[in-house]
Structure 1
Amino acid sequence: MGRVSGTEKQEFTEMEDTEFTDSQLICHVRDALLAVTLGDRENYDELVGYLHRKESLNPDQIALLETTLKALSGTVSCIDSVHHESLLSAVYRMSLWNYGTSIMDALVELIVSLAASNGKYIDWSLEMLVNNFTPPYHLMDSLKQESGIEKKNKVLSRVHAAFEAIAVLVPLAPLRLSPIVVQRMPLTYSKGPEILMYVENMLKLESGAIGEIVGVTMLPAIVDRLIELDVEIGWDGLLQEDAKGIFEMELEDAEFADADGDDNLPAAEYLNRKSLEGNTIAEKLDSLIELTFLHLESCQSSGRLSEVFDVLVRSFQRTILNAYKSKFTQFVVFYACALDPEDCGEKFAMVLTEMFLSNVNPSNTRMSAVAYLASYLSRAKFVSGALVASILQRLVDWCLNYCKSHDSVMNPRAHQVFYSGCQALMYLLCFRMRSLMDAPRLKMQLLNMPMEPILQHKLNPLKVCLPTVVVEFLRQAKSAKLFMTSESFAFDDMLESDLSRAFGGIDRLDMFFPFDPCLLKKSESYIRPHFARWSKIKCDGADDGEFSESGSDASDDEFADMNENDMIEDDMTVSIQAGLDFNPDLNRMSITPKNKSLLHFQQQNARMPARIRPSTSPESL
């Protein structure tokens, strides 16, 4: 029953005496709507007035509003977009967040009825629901309270139930919903809670009943927004130029607690993370990546991570791979791989490998792909030694075939892809050589790879690739007796050469190691268990060809008992003294000159830093 009171002329404004059945009320509303077409707007204008929100509604006003909405649901066939524009506008501006559950339900019923009544109201209805992804600004702070969280759950559960109801009544509606959601995403400069809530709803759509249709759009759109935030994090707030060494050095004797005192961080990582504190863009990006990580975990739990990963990889290829100065967004893919190493982890490695090997792809894309490949295989603890060896073999074979078909002299510009492949080989072995040499079968496979003809070819990759990578690779190769003629590789005059600095052109992909340690605090906590950090490689004895881990108590027998998967070390050791045999500057594995601001710190420690890692300097991006 609907209850309204007063004279016939004012039947919508009083609620005291007269009661109407639902059918009678619908008739009165229909008459008001039809009267507009005849020039009589009095009852219609009063009807519209009930829909405009007041600061507070008393019980009678709440009952009248609910009754009006229900009556409108029964007369949607009489609503005309031309004659009743003010009515539609008033409904459109209504927010579920401002009302109790009874009005919420009546409003959602009206929206669904409008969508099903006429095709021209589908977009209008979907947009109105999308507007409710986030609350009005005056209610934003209430989300920090328990009552606000309860309100949020009530609103959003109704919004997504409405999407599903409309999809049942109008099967093509989800296809119309996807572009609306993407187009109405908050901009990068919007408030953090707003964009977080919006993305949360996008992820809920992706995993919901209509996710099969809209899911292929939601994740790529989120990745695009992550990239936009990522590139906005300027390196101005980070250490650069005269402080580049901070990005490349993990000092053995300089560990600091993070802001919460939970982790001991190397000096470089501590200072870089510290420099991002208070950066609202970085904090927003960190929270969004964490939200995406949690969604990936739920996908794994529900058994749908593989299909979601396929969408994510396509988005990576389209957006992340060639994004200039992407710093952290790529860890979304990394974490998905960590959640499912056997499927996603291997699939990602193979996608990158095929992208590099395919001549169809542009040179820059192939160079980016192999940089990602080398960095991924170097940093991912969960990647098996067998997969690393298999991909190394394919890279070596490609580089060897390239040498055979190019009987030309060294030219960084003309052979960028080749030099990228060579550097990827050396960089990867800087991290993985020990684990491969410790597994007998993989050691034999590695020793049989024809790398010497590549490194000694007239194209001379040792003179073009990044000197610090070349130095570390050759030092380890010598200790492992990887080459019969490793002593013949003379390169003292190649360090920091003009050719090396020019390689890769303006994008400096020669210095791009995309999976260097993540500096975002929340995101890094998810990545940490799966991430291999660089530390020292100690090559004991120039002639014994054996590795040992500095400061480790592990015996040779213990290493011999490890299986190939266990051979993936996240701590590798480097002897500074061994590097001095080549060049006095080889106490680092840096891309750029050492940070002068650390000089005082080093002097106080009374010895040279031994813990180092490849660069995350601005030039590397």
Structure 2
Amino acid sequence: MGMEVENTNKKMQDLNEDDEKEKEYSDKELAQTLREVLKSVSLLGSEFENCTEHYSMLVQVFSKHTHINPEDEAALLVVSSRALSRAVSCIDVDHHDSLLFSIFGMSMWNYGVHVMDALIDLIKSLAASSGNYLILIRCLNMLVRNFKPPRSFLPLFSQPRGIAKKEQVLDRVHTALKDIAELRPLSLLWLNGIVVDSMPRMSFKNDTLNKIKVDLHLSEIYVENMLKLERGVLGRYVGKEILLAVVSRLVDLDVEIEWDEILQDDPSKGIFDMEIEDIDEAADYDDHGEEFPKAGFGLQKLGADVFAERLDSLMVLTCEHIKARADEGHLIEVFETLLQSFEDPILKTHKSKFAQFVIFYACSLDPEKCGVRFAVMLADTFVCGGVSPTTRMSVVAYLASYLSRARFLPSSLVASMLKRLVDWCYEYICKVQDIEERNIDPHVHRVFYSGCQAVMYVLCYWMRMMVDVPHLKSLLLDMPLEPIFRNFLDPLKVCLPSIVTEFLRQAKAARLFTVSENFFFNDLLESDLSKIYGGIERLDTFFPFDPCLLKNCDRIIGPHFLYWSMVKKTYDGDDGSCDEDVNEGERFIDGNSESFYDGEKNLDELDLELELEVFENSMHSNMSITPRRPLKHMMPARIRPSTSPEL
């Protein structure tokens, strides 16, 4: 054994002698020499690993401890990597740990394309040839770790050379992951967990602002690579967990944004007449050239918040990814994952501010399937129960806000969902009336009050359209609204005063039922019953699809979003009615009607109970605040100061 080691040392010494010896080695000969070096360490044992001179020299090549000029170092790395790729069968995890540690600790961001290519080939050879799964896992870890550049590279990403470098590295990393998966299919068992577990951690306690900015930027680059992986050929194997992790990251950033950083509420404003200054007066247009409102309110404050800026970027990145997946015909699969992410973590996050808009956007891309599915899921959760009262209150707030704000939903679906809410509220009243001891503690009946408030909120947006469509007007008049709102539980004195006031104002103009002047009250006054109903969490003030305050994300959401100033109210005009009937598939916008579906997509004028059944059957068969009035936009549903969330 000593003779073999001595011969190997001599060959390695020959490799490092000056050029004047004119001794050249072919790749094959160099690979053979490296095999002998590796075998010599294996024969001596791991405890002699660092005592073998030429093995130590090999380790130094990959650990950047050669102390030679960069050009020679790059050439040495290329030669050594190519030769070692042909000798990987001799690498043993037990005896060559220092060499593997040096290789797997390398960052491809530090090298040119030739070194990167040689390193990628070496990593793929290690992953494919070794029967030891520990080496395979370390190969995957090394590649995934290169999703994230060194901190020193971040300033370069604003320059063309930095962008080019990013593409060079990441294209090679993703190609290598795909190649390894083809060579070793079992690698997919670990890849998913490695990608999710390697996400940059979200912990900013005691960090400086500059460090927070850098960490958030690195996190965004990592998420970008996660979405690229989800969209690639490996997405069918790892996409679900990756997308769930991305949404969780959106929620993590969402909760870092404090409510008082969004806006300062004016005590003189009610929920339907809040006005916030818009910083962008330029009009935006949708794909059809139609102007739509901007919701740039509060952006001066949000723009200064580092978490809001980064969340805005990630939201845009995620929405663009969803759109790309939809264009490729994979929206349904993506939506199923988003629906799961909505249930956890979005719904479980107290008053999530922005993350929920990713599912709103997905619904807008396919209203007939995704849009209906989301509404039905929310309604089922509230009506059927089986979850905590707090969850039901949150769910119905999502449903009311979604039905009111989603510009893409057909009126027939909204009417169906509204009827389910009204029927549930009426059944609740009938049940409690049979109880001898009538408990009027608002906290006890908080789910009922949340349902009543949802009904009023939706009707504030939809009442005018429903009373002007004969089919829907008949349905509206048949709803037992008066028994629901006039009973011993007295929801009109418990729900948010501003919503009650707007609802009664429109109900009176529409002549839904007799509304006396005594039912109107100052919307700044909040009764003790109302405060008890909302409780500590004040979910009664939560309208999750209020206009998005993230500037760039709002540009994506805006064309699909309904603003309060766009809604025609029953009291607008002489008598609160319209002389012309409109199709059921149309919704009043600023005095005009906007069709949500073209002639081929409009739903038939069926009985609404049958329509809901059609919606659900179709679903199962296809799928296993706003700016100031001078700028033409007003925001209705934003938190009033007296009911603002606890900080």
What's the TM-score, normalizing by structure 1?
0.85
Contact 2:294 / 2:558 at 8 angstroms: preserved in 1? no
Q: CA deviation at 1:12?
A: 4.1
2:613 aligns to what?
Answer: none
Seen in structure 2, the aligned counterparts of structure 1 residues 263 and 274 have a Cα distance that, compared at 3 Å, is farther
| Residue 21 (structure 1) aligned with residue 26 (structure 2) | yes
| Residue 214 (structure 1) aligned with residue 216 (structure 2) | no
State how far apart, in whole Å, the 2-side matches of 1:611 and 1:34 are. 76
Q: Which deviates further from its counterpart, 403-412 or 351-360?
A: 403-412
Contact 2:463 / 2:569 at 8 angstroms: preserved in 1? no
Give the secondary-structure state (helix, strand or coil) at the position aligned to 2:442.
coil
Question: Once the two structures are aligned, what percentage of the paired residues are identical?
Answer: 46
| Residue 32 (structure 1) aligned with residue 32 (structure 2) | no
2:330 aligns to what?
Answer: 304
State how far apart, in whole Å, the 2-side matches of 1:571 and 1:177 are. 54
State how far apart, in whole Å, the 1-side matches of 2:349 and 2:284 are. 31
2:396 aligns to what?
Answer: 370
Equivalence map 1:409-488=2 (5 Å): 409-483=439-513, 485-487=514-516
1:316 aligns to what?
Answer: 342
2:611 aligns to what?
Answer: none
Q: In the alignment, residue 211 of structure 1 is paired with which amino acid?
A: G
Q: CA deviation at 1:458?
A: 2.2
Q: CA deviation at 1:571?
A: 7.7
Q: CA deviation at 1:530?
A: 0.9
Q: CA deviation at 1:436?
A: 1.7
Instruction: Give the root-mean-square deviation of aligned CA atoms.
Output: 3.3
State how far apart, in whole Å, the 2-side matches of 1:529 and 1:19 are. 67
Q: 2:249 aligns with which of 225, 229, 234?
A: 225
Task: Provide, for residues 535-593 of structure 1, a one-character-per-residue CA deviation record: whole Å limited to 9, x for no partner.
Answer: 27655599x85247xxxxxxx44xx3x42232153789xxxxxxxxxxxxxxxxxxxxx
State how far apart, in whole Å, the 1-side matches of 2:546 and 2:482 are. 28
Q: In the alignment, residue 13 of structure 2 is paired with which amino acid?
A: Q
Q: 1:45 aligns with which of 56, 67, 79?
A: 56
| Residue 67 (structure 1) aligned with residue 79 (structure 2) | yes
Q: CA deviation at 1:237?
A: 3.0
| Residue 97 (structure 1) aligned with residue 109 (structure 2) | yes
Q: 2:519 aligns with which of 483, 487, 490?
A: 490
Q: 1:158 aligns with which of 161, 172, 193?
A: 172
Q: 1:120 aligns with which of 114, 118, 134?
A: 134
| Residue 395 (structure 1) aligned with residue 421 (structure 2) | yes
Seen in structure 2, the aligned counterparts of structure 1 residues 57 and 137 have a Cα distance that, compared at 3 Å, is farther
1:615 aligns to what?
Answer: 638
| Residue 500 (structure 1) aligned with residue 530 (structure 2) | yes
State how far apart, in whole Å, the 2-side matches of 1:383 and 1:287 are. 27
Gaps of at least 5 residues in structure 2 are 1-8, 203-211, 286-290, 593-624
Seen in structure 2, the aligned counterparts of structure 1 residues 15 and 434 have a Cα distance that, compared at 3 Å, is farther
State how far apart, in whole Å, the 2-side matches of 1:489 and 1:387 are. 34
State how far apart, in whole Å, the 2-side matches of 1:447 and 1:482 are. 7
Seen in structure 2, the aligned counterparts of structure 1 residues 541 and 296 have a Cα distance that, compared at 3 Å, is closer
2:6 aligns to what?
Answer: none
Seen in structure 2, the aligned counterparts of structure 1 residues 160 and 269 have a Cα distance that, compared at 3 Å, is closer
Give the secondary-structure state (helix, strand or coil) at the position aligned to 1:506.
coil
Q: In the alignment, residue 238 of structure 2 is paired with which amino acid?
A: V
Seen in structure 2, the aligned counterparts of structure 1 residues 614 and 571 have a Cα distance that, compared at 3 Å, is farther
State how far apart, in whole Å, the 1-side matches of 2:166 and 2:463 are. 52
Q: 2:378 aligns with which of 352, 367, 372?
A: 352
Seen in structure 2, the aligned counterparts of structure 1 residues 173 and 30 have a Cα distance that, compared at 3 Å, is same
Contact 1:289 / 1:332 at 8 angstroms: preserved in 2? yes
Contact 1:269 / 1:519 at 8 angstroms: preserved in 2? yes
State how far apart, in whole Å, the 1-side matches of 2:639 and 2:18 are. 70
Task: Provide, for residues 323-378 of structure 1, a one-character-per-residue CA deviation record: whole Å limited to 9, x for no partner.
Answer: 11311111111111112111111111111111111221111111111000000110
State how far apart, in whole Å, the 2-side matches of 1:489 and 1:238 are. 36
Contact 1:238 / 1:276 at 8 angstroms: preserved in 2? yes
State how far apart, in whole Å, the 1-side matches of 2:270 and 2:449 are. 27
What's the TM-score, normalizing by structure 2?
0.81
State how far apart, in whole Å, the 2-side matches of 1:343 and 1:53 are. 56
State how far apart, in whole Å, the 1-side matches of 2:77 and 2:146 are. 19
State how far apart, in whole Å, the 2-side matches of 1:27 and 1:106 are. 18
State how far apart, in whole Å, the 2-side matches of 1:294 and 1:82 are. 46
State how far apart, in whole Å, the 1-side matches of 2:119 and 2:154 are. 21
2:5 aligns to what?
Answer: none
Q: CA deviation at 1:240?
A: 3.5
Give the secondary-structure state (helix, strand or coil) at the position aligned to 1:459.
coil
Q: Which deviates further from its counterpart, 490-499 or 342-351?
A: 490-499
Q: 2:100 aligns with which of 79, 84, 88?
A: 88
State how far apart, in whole Å, the 2-side matches of 1:571 and 1:234 are. 37
Contact 1:238 / 1:272 at 8 angstroms: preserved in 2? yes
Q: 1:281 aligns with which of 307, 311, 323?
A: 307
Q: CA deviation at 1:278?
A: 1.7
Seen in structure 2, the aligned counterparts of structure 1 residues 611 and 528 have a Cα distance that, compared at 3 Å, is closer
Q: Which deviates further from its counterpart, 364-373 or 448-457?
A: 448-457
Q: Which deviates further from its counterpart, 362-371 or 111-120?
A: 111-120
Give the secondary-structure state (helix, strand or coil) at the position aligned to 1:53.
coil
State how far apart, in whole Å, the 1-side matches of 2:198 and 2:401 are. 35
Q: CA deviation at 1:267?
A: 13
Contact 1:356 / 1:366 at 8 angstroms: preserved in 2? yes
| Residue 203 (structure 1) aligned with residue 232 (structure 2) | no
Q: 1:293 aligns with which of 319, 327, 336?
A: 319
State how far apart, in whole Å, the 1-side matches of 2:184 and 2:572 are. 74
| Residue 337 (structure 1) aligned with residue 363 (structure 2) | yes
Q: CA deviation at 1:380?
A: 0.8
1:587 aligns to what?
Answer: none
Q: CA deviation at 1:307?
A: 0.8
Bigger relative contact order, structure 1 or 2 (CA pairs below 8 A, ≥6 apart): 2
Contact 1:352 / 1:369 at 8 angstroms: preserved in 2? yes
Task: Provide, for residues 293-312 of structure 1, a one-character-per-residue CA deviation record: whole Å limited to 9, x for no partner.
Answer: 11011011101011101100
State how far apart, in whole Å, the 1-side matches of 2:327 and 2:159 are. 29
Contact 1:69 / 1:110 at 8 angstroms: preserved in 2? yes
State how far apart, in whole Å, the 2-side matches of 1:87 and 1:95 are. 15
State how far apart, in whole Å, the 2-side matches of 1:467 and 1:563 are. 33
Contact 1:409 / 1:458 at 8 angstroms: preserved in 2? no
Gaps of at least 5 residues in structure 1 are 1-5, 549-555, 573-594, 596-600
Contact 1:247 / 1:269 at 8 angstroms: preserved in 2? no
State how far apart, in whole Å, the 1-side matches of 2:419 and 2:544 are. 22
2:150 aligns to what?
Answer: 136
Q: In the alignment, residue 142 of structure 1 is paired with which amino acid?
A: L
State how far apart, in whole Å, the 2-side matches of 1:247 and 1:7 are. 85
2:11 aligns to what?
Answer: 8
2:409 aligns to what?
Answer: 383
Task: Provide, for residues 241-263 of structure 1, a one-character-per-residue CA deviation record: whole Å limited to 9, x for no partner.
Answer: 66684986444xx86542x8567
Contact 1:81 / 1:88 at 8 angstroms: preserved in 2? yes
Seen in structure 2, the aligned counterparts of structure 1 residues 353 and 336 have a Cα distance that, compared at 3 Å, is same
Q: In the alignment, residue 61 of structure 2 is paired with which amino acid?
A: Y
Q: In the alignment, residue 152 of structure 1 is paired with which amino acid?
A: K
